[in-house]
Amino acid sequence: MQEKVKVSGGTGLTEKEARSGKIFYTEDSLDCAFAWDTGVAINRYLAEFKKGNIIATECRQCNRIMLPPRLFCELCFVPSGDWVYVKDTGIVNTFSICHVNWDASRIKEGEKPHLPAVIEIDGASEGMGIMHRLGEVEPDQIEIGMKVKAVWRPKAERTGSITDIKYFKPL
């Protein structure tokens, strides 16, 4: 007797049952539209990107400048204070040399690897920043602590998204 495979939330089948041709199934493709509400803090953050600015929020209790901005401090749970403009420069906190595309397919032979990095933004508290990509740099030149600056899209091309910054380049 073949042991049935235990499946949470469904009925397990033996391989023999699955291959018998007596199992009914259907295939479908859903045409779904999705919407995402950014919320108050991220909405303003992205609106400032469109203007070429990076904005954070301040916690008056623990004196942190939080980036990305949030409406409350996740450490002391008090509402955020003032909005604070920070610089579009920072340092590389960590990075990767990525030989796959953003859709998880392999890059083609001869293509340069992608260079995602976490950038600690100047003016934000230590450890606060954003994940983005590096550009105008060779992979073997990247170092933790390297100073970088945002390269912004032309104003007419900005849409109010994180991609309004094309990449960060070394200073």
Q: In which element (H, E) is residue 117 found?
A: strand 116-121
Please give the Cα distance from 165 to 149 (Å, whole number): 10
Helix and strand element counts for the chain (H, E): 2, 8
pLDDT of residue 5: 53
Mean pLDDT of 110-135: 96
CB-CB contact of 50 with 159 (8 Å): yes
Please give the Cα distance from 129 to 10 (Å, whole number): 43
Beta-carbon count within 10 A of 69 CB? 24
- Domains of the chain, by residue range, sit at 39-170
pTM of the model: 0.77
Please give the Cα distance from 158 to 76 (Å, whole number): 35
Query: Which residues are registered as beta bridge partners of 151?
Result: 167
pLDDT of residue 167: 98
Tokens representing 165? Answer: 């910054």
Confidence of residue 1 (pLDDT cuts 50, 70, 90): low
Q: What is the distance, to the nearest Å, from the Cα of residue 14 to the centroid of all Cα atoms in its chain?
A: 41
- Over the stretch 12-66, which tens digit does the pLDDT of each residue have? 777 888 788 777 767 778 887 777 778 889 999 999 999 999 999 999 999 999 9
Q: What is the distance, to the nearest Å, from the Cα of residue 56 to the centroid of all Cα atoms in its chain?
A: 17
- Over the stretch 84-107, which tens digit does the pLDDT of each residue have? 999 999 999 999 999 999 888 999
